[in-house]
Amino acid sequence: MRTMMCRRLLSLAACVASVATAGGGLAACSDSDSTPDGDTSLDAGADTSPANTDAGTPDADGAAPDPDSGQHDAGPTISSAIGSTGYVKVRDGYIIARFLEDDTIVRASNAPECVVHVRSATKAFSPAGSLTVGGAIVGADGGPEQAIVVDPDETQQYLYVPDPPPESGGVFPPTETLIVQIEGSGSLAFPLMPAQSLPSPAAGALTIAKPIVDTASADPVVISTSEPFEIVWTPPANPHADHRVILALEDINGADAAKIASLHCSFPIAAGKGSVPVNLLAELKSRVGASDTPEAQIQVLAGGYKEFTGGGASYVIEVSRDDTGFAALPAELR
């Protein structure tokens, strides 16, 4: 396990270095008036509830549809907004977070469990105060002795790795299901984030039937933008009510693209399947250059997931382990 963790951290460090050089980063963003929660709300009230984006949604000229006009529903719609964004990954062996100001968020009305974030390829990360990770993991066997406080480094990214790293865990125990709390002190451009409660992942890997991937191969996972992208897995025998399967496409970019995007989705682990619709995939590709074959990094993991949307910001938060599925594999949008 230590070899696997180290390999993941080396891959992550290389990604962080390359992204920092390009001045980009991973981020989530949203409009607080139209943001689905994307979780089962362990602390309901800390973020917004899913919105019915098909009913009563203003059209392109800002006028709400007239329910008595006799017009039929035009079908799924795409919306976008500007907001400060953040992306927080809490793993059993490390923590990484990145925040950016004034990114674009893209949503599809037929995919409330997904969000797309688009940013300039030259945009730098921003400091968003201190990030604190604690909760029931503090003092637990295999967890930290006290809450972990992470501040931005010289690149304005947040990175924590236990020193020296243990054989396993270090942030939360890998064999227990405990509540992890993540909070942020905020800054001028980023609102304070009160404690968000997410479950740590259950022990054992997720059995993923689709997409079929070879983690030892350099061949990319091919994602067609002309059909829904489906993931299928075998739910555990006794699934945790708040555990989710987390899909992310990160650092999506085309050749010489001025924009970089990322896609974040989560699905209840008990469901056994999830899907990203064609219209959102096509919009995602068009945002970074439809004439190219954009490249990305794909992950499918299990654990806790939440999107905090207070104060008009949007922070995507994950609590998982790399060995619950697969992470940081190459992918292509075609």
Domains of the chain, by residue range, sit at 2-51+75-322
Does residue 74 or residue 241 have the better pLDDT?
241
Does residue 257 or residue 143 have the better pLDDT?
143
Q: Could you tell me if 288 and 260 are in contact, meaning their C-beta atoms sit under 8 angstroms apart?
A: yes
What mean pLDDT is predicted for residues 214-228?
A: 90
As a three-state string, the secondary structure of 64-131 is CCCCCCCCCCCCCCEEEEEEEEEEEEEECCCEEEEEEEEEEEEEECCCCCEEEEEEECCCCCCCCCCE
DSSP 10-72: HHHHHHHHHHHHHT--------TTS----S--TTTTSSPPPP-TTSS---TTSPPP-TTS-PP
| pTM summary value | 0.76
Q: Could you tell me if 163 and 110 are in contact, meaning their C-beta atoms sit under 8 angstroms apart?
A: no
- Give the confidence band of 33 by pLDDT, cuts at 50, 70, 90: very low
- Give the confidence band of 73 by pLDDT, cuts at 50, 70, 90: low
CB count within 10 Å of CB 214 equals 10
- Give the confidence band of 256 by pLDDT, cuts at 50, 70, 90: confident
Lowest mean pLDDT among 35-44, 145-154, 237-246, 290-299: 35-44
- Give the confidence band of 238 by pLDDT, cuts at 50, 70, 90: confident
C-alpha–C-alpha distance, residues 334 and 325, integer Å: 24
pLDDT digits (tens, 9 = 90+) for 159-214: 999 887 776 678 998 777 789 999 999 999 999 999 999 999 877 788 999 999 88
Tokens of 9: 């951290």
According to the model, what pLDDT value does residue 239 have? 86
Tokens of 219: 């061949």
- Give the confidence band of 109 by pLDDT, cuts at 50, 70, 90: very high
C-alpha–C-alpha distance, residues 14 and 24, integer Å: 14
pLDDT digits (tens, 9 = 90+) for 272-322: 999 999 999 999 999 987 677 899 999 999 999 999 988 888 889 999 998
State the chain's mean pLDDT as an integer: 80
